[in-house]
Amino acid sequence: MDARLNLFASPTVGKAIKHFMAVGKVLKDSPLPVATQELVALRVSQINGCAVCLDIHVKDATAAGETPVRLNLVAAWREATVFTDAERAALELAEEGTRVADAAGGVPDEVWERAAKHYDEEQLAALLVLISFMNMANRVNIITRQPATGDYEAGKFH
């Protein structure tokens, strides 16, 4: 499969990506735990079917010390017992935030409240931006049919 657009050859996209990557750096430096960030990025990318982001976040999560068992169970986090209550709340918020078009009322208060039990305001803010950031990245890659070549090296975008 060939990409519809070379994102790195476009001056407009190049400028936007520079700022986009700066947002990613801000998130990595936020107080939201790195493990939570990678699990959320992976789950959002699974829901949206973004192969490029799946390749990136599986490798980045592995490099950050995440285990294959937990990575393989992200798609079934509700039934898996390998995640903390805080991680489960973040994954639930990520799912609801990604599927907003499927829910007439947006993200339910109970979902937000469960996340707020485990994360302070700054962590919730980072989680909110991360969910939005990943949805945008997924959409750019999916719309332009960016292929997952499997050659991503962990940490390349940090």
Q: Report the length, in residues, of the chain.
A: 158
Q: 43 burial class (0-12, 13-18, 19+ CB within 10 angstroms)?
A: buried
Domain assignment present for 4:
no
2 lies in a domain? no
- Location of structure tokens 């079934």: 76
Does any domain span residue 137? yes
- Per-chain mean pLDDT for the chain: 92
Whether 120 maps to a domain, the answer reads yes
pLDDT mean over 91-115: 92
Total domains in the chain come to 1
Q: Is residue 95 part of a domain?
A: yes
CATH number for position 71: 1.20.1290.10
Mean pLDDT of 106-134: 97
Q: Please determine, for residue 4, whether its predicted confidence score (pLDDT) is greater than 90.
A: no
Type of residue numbered 123 = Q
Per-residue model confidence as pLDDT tens digits over 31-71? 999 999 999 999 999 999 999 999 999 999 999 999 999 99
CA distance 139 to 133: 10
What is the Cα–Cα distance from 56 to 84, expressed in whole angstroms? 23
Q: What pLDDT score was predicted for residue 155?
A: 66
Lowest mean pLDDT among 119-123, 139-143, 144-148, 151-155: 151-155
92: containing domain: 11-143
Domain membership of residue 43 (yes or no) is yes
